[in-house]
Amino acid sequence: MKDSKSVNFNNPLITAEHLKGKAIIYVRQSTKENAGSRALCENQVQLARAYGWSDHLIEVIDEDIGKTGFSVDTRTGYRRMLAQIANNSVGIIFATNLSRLTRHPGAYHQLKSLAADHGTLLCTGNRIIDPSDRLRRDH
């Protein structure tokens, strides 16, 4: 397999405007002992690069490792990520899957709505979605 630094992926959802914002790699798991988390994080960083984000715009938020996904109250990284989205500084959020973001349906709906309102894409399981498109179809 090629080094993803040399691979350029294209996705019609990613615009030049998205690439001006941050690519946040959000890492959360309930146990600190998971040695695979570093590798998963690096894979997400490589994916952001492959989609066109510059290194200076890629931010890894991993301070919530060891915290439950059922509550966002104790997750300072998650709250910081939401604040950055609300500040219009994020182009995309990368997470290995939805449960890494949150396991609480209300919190996920809040994230999806906030992302839709501020033009932030979500990439989970290597699938990019535009929450504003999904919200329009849901109503």
SS3 string, 5-53, reads CCCCCCCCCCCHHHHHCEEEEECCCCCCCCCHHHHHHHHHHHHHHHCCC
Residue 2 lies in a domain: no
Residue 4 lies in a domain: no
How is residue 25 annotated by DSSP? Answer: E
pLDDT for residue 36: 61
Residue 28 lies in a domain: yes
| Host domain of residue 81 | 17-138
Residue 59 lies in a domain: yes
Residue 6 lies in a domain: no
Domain count, the chain: 1
CATH number, domain of 129, equals 3.40.50.1390
Q: Rounded mean pLDDT of 18-25?
A: 96
Residue 75 lies in a domain: yes
What are the pLDDT digits (tens) for 57-91? Answer: 999 998 877 766 566 677 888 899 999 999 999 99
Residue 120 lies in a domain: yes
